[in-house]
Chain A
Amino acid sequence: MLKNLSVEQLKTDVLIIGGGTAGCYCAYTLGLSGSHKVLIAEKANIKRSGCLAAGVNAINAYITEGKVPQDYVNYCKKDAKGIVREDLLLSISENLNDVTHTLEKEGLVILKDENGKYVTRGDRNIKINGENIKPILAKMASESDNVTVINHVNITDLLVEKNRIYGAVGFDVNEAKAYVIFAKAVLMATGGAAGLYRPNNPGFSRHKMWYPPFNTGAGYAMGINAGAEMTTFEMRFIALRCKDTIAPTGTIAQGVRAKQMNGLGEIYETKYGVATCERVYGTTLENKEGRGPCYLKTDVISKAQEEDLYKAYLNMAPSQTLKWLEGGQGPSEQNVEIEGTEPYIVGGHTASGYWVDNNRATTVRGLYAAGDVAGGAPQKYVTGALAEGKLAAAGIEEYLKEDFELVSSNVWEKILANYDEYLNNPIGNITISQVEEAMQKVMDEYAGGITKSYQFNETGLKLAKEKLEGLQQVLNTLKANDTDELLQIYEIKERLTVSLSLIEHLKARKETRWHSFGENMSYPNVDDNYNVYINSVKTGDGIKIIKRPLVVDDYKNIIFTFNGDGNIQYAGGEIDER
């Protein structure tokens, strides 16, 4: 019997977990067709939740005039050194412009020239005012009668029986109330994972980071625990950002063409290569070898350009403008110092995430994934996540045509009992924030964080695993006074689960294909035997690694099939190592 939480049961056709970029667009698409009941469960409030809370600087994935979708695929493939799913990237690329035009129609301001054509920034970007992009999306998502939004509900566990999804369980973060939601299909759209590693500013401004600190890998963790297959976690993402505020550098680098310069005044922009990981690596190495600090050389820009930069940053990262004004020197007078962030797991920028098929189905039947939580397709940015929301909506509509009986069990009672345990634990010496600090320290020091210049080796990874497993035990003793604290405990629990999978991935790719993103000092060179995907599935005996052949060049779209007992039959082939 629960002592602490009341329980509400809900029923829907489609449950969308996470009302961010991908989740909102999926709800919008399902809303247009109107044939199913849709419920968005959002941890905060869809108006400003997820990556787009403060706004966004540009549309970074768009097929500009004279380019075709395959060009975008080729760019992503090259940037990720071949470890991408071409089938996923192409389907995204084919939808980038459509979703952009829809957003414009709904109110997004996009810069146009005198002929009414979009003004581009480089080959793949267009200029916008992205400050209100999330309120626009939130409105689109909730407009249809068949879509309901429940804000401030944190989902923690999936309900899966015989590898088929039938719902999810969560709790209200403000009230003593649990939710058991039964659904025929579920879209996972919770975003990626921040806060695994010790951040750039570990003190007062610990959450002044690149990725939303509230995206704690819940979707990955729920999938891992439900036996869903994950891919390419070992391709971590590290952003190159303005020092301290961790604000974007692209606006300065691409907007006013500022070059990367070291502490000696030397331009090192192209010395290490121009792939995303190499730009981070270059800056890391310059610092490591004593030639830091590193900058974007902005002291040549005009006062007018400076004023425009102030405005551009207010529309996406206001802290940077405040920093310039408060410090008394703007970018025209002082070069902008840059640094690499702590590593994140985020499928919108690298290929980490759920192993999905071309319909965005996961290896759990009825569970779909889109946006940062879905793997295989890096460089999605905002429009790629929207495109995946749209593609997942189509996949879900197709799935719901299938005739199947919704299974049911009382597993959810066990999940609610877990909540109750935390709420009833006695107060101990170890606090929630101590466990978070310990986890981030372990990951930083043994799994390639900032202080280790993103480098790791096999011995360190083994140690990291042991220490994190120890922390999992400690976590079970934590006390939550209310559901707000329960949320904080789950946010650490999720990150521990993701970190343990990440460590297995880092171990399994015995090469260094991407500097900084995956700098394995036990295997410092590229090895062509690793022209494969490293995938993982959590089983009763631990995390099992599966290697799958690349879907590139002469490829066929992957569409998963399941056998009679519901288990996965085909998920893209397997490389036999015997």
Chain B
Amino acid sequence: MSVRINTNSCVGCKKCIEVCPGNLIKLKDGKAFIKREKDCWGCTSCLKECQAGAIAFFLGADIGGKGSTLSTRAQGDLRYWIVTDPNGIQKTITINTKESNKY
């Protein structure tokens, strides 16, 4: 379980560095990188902060990961969660943040 930061999309705004509850993301050459990827809790706070959409989340093979990634973006009251499989096929789940969990 960890995150991957796309250096090409990263704009170096440091928001992910600021928010990570484990202080795991640092800055190198003006871009964010995850210094200790094994120490990620998987909270996805950095994904939610990143306006550039540069951060994606994945499961390690030891917990069933098969190479897909999870990314997210928000628009108004809606939050989109996008799962992209290794072939690039996407599935999006849309959550209205003003609605409660049903369970």
Residues of chain B contacted by A131 (CB below 8 angstroms): 79, 95, 97
B11: min CB distance to chain A, Å:
19
The answer to whether A245 and B45 have CB atoms under 8 Å apart is no
Report the Cα distance A207→B70, complex, angstroms. 18
Interface assignment of A541: CB less than 8 Å from any CB of chain B: no
- A132 lies within 8 A of chain B by Cβ: yes
* A345 to B17 Cα, complex, angstroms: 28
A128: chain B residues within 8 A (beta carbon): 100-101
How many residues of chain A get a CB closer than 8 Å to chain B's CBs? 62
CB contacts (< 8 Å) of A109 on chain B: these are 97-100
Chain B positions 6-63 with a Cβ under 8 Å from a chain A Cβ: 18-23, 26, 35, 38-45, 57-63
Q: How far is the CB of A106 from chain B (nearest CB, A)?
A: 15
Within A23-81, the residues touching B (CB, 8 Å) are 43-45, 47-50, 53-54, 57-58
Q: CB distance A121 to B83 under 8 Å? A: no
Q: Hey, what's the 0/1 contact readout for B51-86 against A, CB within 8 Å counting as 1?
A: 000000111111111101010000000010101010
Chain B nearest Cβ from A381, distance in angstroms: 15
Q: Which of A47, A48, A151, A256 contacts B103 (CB 8 A)?
A: A256
Q: Are A204 and B60 in contact (CB under 8 A)?
A: yes
Contacts of B101 in A (CB 8 A): 57-58, 111, 127-130, 251, 308, 311-312, 315
The interface residues of chain B, by DSSP majority, are classed as loop
Confirm or deny: B5 has a beta carbon within 8 angstroms of a beta carbon on chain A.
no
Most buried by B among A207, A325, A484: A207
Question: Is there an interface contact between A213 and B39, defined as CB atoms closer than 8 Å?
Answer: yes
- Using Cβ atoms and an 8 Å threshold, which residues of chain A touch B81? 314, 318, 321
Of the listed residues A43, A129, A173, A256, the one surrounded by the most CB atoms of chain B closer than 10 A to its CB is: A129
Interface centre among B62, B91, B93, B103 (most CB of A within 10 A): B103
Does the CB pair A484–B35 fall under 8 Å?
Answer: yes
- Chain B nearest CB from A461 CB (Å) reads 29
Residues from chain B with a CB closer than 8 A to the CB of A132 are: 97
**B66 CB contact (under 8 Å) in A111, A326, A484:** A326
- Complex Cα distance, B100 from A312, in Å, reads 9
Cβ B68 vs Cβ A48 within 8 A:
no
Distance from A367 Cβ to chain B, minimum over Cβ atoms (Å)? 25
- With A109-B100, A315-B95 given, is the CB distance from A48 to B42 under 8 Å? no
CB of B63 within 8 A of CB of A207, answer no
Closest to B45 in A: A48
In the docked arrangement, what's the CA distance between A209 and B44, Å?
A: 14
Mask of A165-208 contacts with B, CB within 8 angstroms, 1/0: 00000000110000000000000000000000000010111111
CB-based contact B41/A213 at 8 Å: yes
Are the CB atoms of B95 and A327 closer together than 8 Å?
no
Assuming A129-B97, A310-B93, is B59 touching A322 (CB within 8 A)? yes
Q: How far is the CB of A258 from chain B (nearest CB, A)?
A: 11
Interface centre among B20, B21, B35, B101 (most CB of A within 10 A): B101
A91-116 interface bits toward B, Cβ cutoff 8 Å, 1 = contact, 0 = none: 00000000000000000011100000
List the A side residues contacting B43 at CB < 8 Å: 48, 53-54
- Tell me which of B19, B58, B100 contacts A48 (CB under 8 A): B19
Residues A48 and B63 in contact, CB atoms below 8 Å apart: no
- Bound CA–CA A256/B60 (angstroms): 28
With contacts A318-B57, A326-B85 taken as known, whether A213 is within 8 angstroms of B63 at the C-beta atoms is no
Bound CA–CA A459/B60 (angstroms): 37
Say whether A214 contacts B100, CB under 8 Å.
Answer: no
Q: A297: shortest Cβ distance to chain B, in Å?
A: 16
Question: Looking across the interface, which residue of chain A has its beta carbon closest to that of B40?
Answer: A207
- B39 neighbours in A (Cβ, 8 Å): 206-207, 213
B62 cross-chain contacts in A, Cβ below 8 A: 201, 203-205, 244
Q: A205-B59, A321-B81 are in contact. Are A151 and B18 (CB under 8 A)?
A: yes
Contacts of A327 in B (CB 8 A): 64, 66
A212 at the interface (CB under 8 A from B): yes
Closest to A214 in B: B22
| Contact (Cβ within 8 A) B22 A213 | yes
Query: Are A214 and B41 touching (Cβ within 8 A)?
Result: yes
Whether A531 sits at the interface, judged by CB under 8 Å, is no
A323 within 8 A of B: yes
Interface string of A249-265 (1 = CB under 8 A from B): 00110111000000000
Pick the contact of A203: B20, B60, B93, B98 (CB < 8 A).
B60
How does the 8 Å CB contact mask read for A111-153 relative to B, with 1 for contact and 0 for none? Answer: 1000000010100000111111000000000000000000110
Contacts of B79 in A (CB 8 A): 131
The reply on A221 being an interface residue by CB < 8 A is: no
Of the candidates B26, B83, B95, the one whose C-beta lies within 8 Å of that of A325 is B83
Judge whether A204 and B19 touch: CB under 8 Å. no
Q: Are B59 and A254 in contact (CB under 8 A)?
A: no
Nearest B residue to A250 via CB reads B103
Q: A393 near B: Cβ within 8 Å?
A: no
**Is there contact, CB below 8 Å, between B103 and A309?**
yes
The listed residue (A111, A127, A205) touching B63 by CB distance below 8 A is A205
A53 pairs with B21, CB closer than 8 A? yes
Closest to B27 in A: A174
A119-B102 Cα distance, complex, nearest whole Å: 10
Q: 18 new A-B pairs (CB below 8 Å) besides A207-B39, A214-B41, A245-B64?
A: A57-B101, A127-B100, A127-B101, A129-B100, A174-B23, A207-B40, A207-B42, A208-B41, A213-B39, A244-B59, A251-B103, A311-B93, A311-B102, A318-B42, A321-B83, A323-B63, A326-B85, A484-B26
Which 5 residue pairs spanning A and B have beta carbons closest together?
Answer: A255-B103, A111-B100, A53-B43, A244-B63, A204-B60
Interface residues in chain A, defined as those with a beta carbon under 8 Å from any beta carbon in chain B: 43-45, 47-50, 53-54, 57-58, 109-111, 119, 121, 127-132, 151-152, 173-174, 201, 203-209, 212-214, 244-245, 251-252, 254-256, 308-312, 314-315, 317-319, 321-323, 325-327, 484, 487
Report 7 cross-chain contacts, Cβ distance below 8 Å, ordered by A residue: A49-B21, A53-B41, A127-B103, A201-B63, A311-B95, A323-B59, A325-B68
